[in-house]
Amino acid sequence: MAEEEFGIRGGEVAIPLPENTDAGVYFLGRIRTPWTRREQCPKNARESDAVCTIEVDPRYAAGLQGVESCSHLLVLYWMDRSRRDLVLQAPRHYGEVLGTFALRSPARPNPIAVSVVRLQEVAANLLSVVGLDCLDGTPLIDIKPYFASTDSVPDAVVGWRKATKD
């Protein structure tokens, strides 16, 4: 009963988190998307070609110099509406219980998402990008150039997904 209240499904396991965190992050801006409720968000980012806007806090805007020359970026953001204590999860669309580190679920000890986006435009402190699937207002943590030489692995395999989905 109490477990259900806290959103635990059968087979899921929560752990006690440490009393204190070890380091602090700054929110560097906000991400503007068309989605205000979780059920509206695309299941994964390639399902949508919606153009989203990354609003970088003017304090950090000088850090965008050179970003306009990148075709793709890594965007890190803080999924601030998820519980952080699950180690085993039962995603609704798979039959299986899996470890948090085998999933891209927002529920994780450090709720930081990594998304690869295609950059459309940089205008002052605003970036127009395609490839996000997060809620409107999500806090921005970082932007990095995407280097195909180190970041692209076309033949990577996620075995559990193959077994459950193909």
Q: Does 39 bind a copy of itself (CB under 8 A)?
A: no
What is the contact mask toward a copy of itself in residues 76 to 95, using x (rule: CB under 8 A)?
A: x-x-x------xx-------
* CA-based torsion, 29, 69, 135, 166: positive or negative: negative
Q: Does 70 bind a copy of itself (CB under 8 A)?
A: yes
β-strands 72-78, 138-145: how paired? Answer: antiparallel
Residue 79's SS3 state is coil
Are 44 and 158 contacting, i.e. CB atoms less than 8 angstroms apart? no
Question: What is the total residue count of the chain?
Answer: 166
Identify the residue among 4, 39, 92, 150 touching a copy of itself (CB under 8 A).
150
Name the one range near a copy of itself by CB under 8 A: 1-9, 31-39, 62-70: 62-70
Q: Does 46 bind a copy of itself (CB under 8 A)?
A: yes
Cβ-based nearer residue to a copy of itself, 52 or 131: 131
Q: Does 124 bind a copy of itself (CB under 8 A)?
A: no
Classify residue 50 as left (phi > 0), alpha (psi -120 to 50) or beta.
beta
Q: Does 126 bind a copy of itself (CB under 8 A)?
A: no
The structure tokens listed for 152 are 């692209």
Q: Does 22 bind a copy of itself (CB under 8 A)?
A: yes
Q: How many residues contact a copy of itself, by CB under 8 A?
A: 79
Identify the residue among 114, 120, 121, 137 touching a copy of itself (CB under 8 A).
114
Which residues sit opposite 32 in a β-bridge?
53
Identify the residue among 38, 59, 121, 137 touching a copy of itself (CB under 8 A).
59
Q: Does 49 bind a copy of itself (CB under 8 A)?
A: no
Q: How far is the C-alpha of 28 from the C-alpha of 76, rounded, in Å? A: 10
Q: Does 62 bind a copy of itself (CB under 8 A)?
A: yes
Q: How far is the C-alpha of 61 from the C-alpha of 45, rounded, in Å? A: 25
